Amino acid sequence: MKTILVVDDEFGIADTLSSILEDEGYRVITAINGEQGLARMAEVTPDLVIVDYMMPIKNGSEMLREMRKIPALSAIPVVMMSAVSEAVVKKECEFTAFLRKPFNLDAVLGVIVRLIGGPSSAPSA
Select 56 or 117, whichever has its Cβ closest to another protein. Answer: 56
The helices-and-strands tally (H runs, E runs) of the chain is 5, 5
Work out how close the CB of 102 gets to another protein at its nearest, in angstroms, rounded to a whole number. Answer: 4
The site for another protein (CB under 8 A) is made up of 9-14, 32-33, 53-57, 83-85, 88, 101-102
CA–CA gap between residue 49 and residue 83 (Å, rounded): 18
Residue 110: count of CB within 10 angstroms of its CB:
14
CB of 116 to another protein, least distance (A): 24
Q: Contact, 47 vs 124, CB < 8 A?
A: yes
Q: What angle do CA 59, 125, 81 make, to 5 degrees?
A: 25
24 vs 62, which CB is nearer to another protein? 62
C-beta closer to another protein: residue 57 or 72: 57
Answer yes or no: are the C-beta atoms of 124 and 49 closer than 8 Å: no
Q: How far is the CB of 6 from another protein (least distance, A)?
A: 12
Measured from the CB atom, the residue of 33 and 47 that comes closer to another protein is 33
Minimum distance of another protein from residue 25's CB (angstroms)? 25
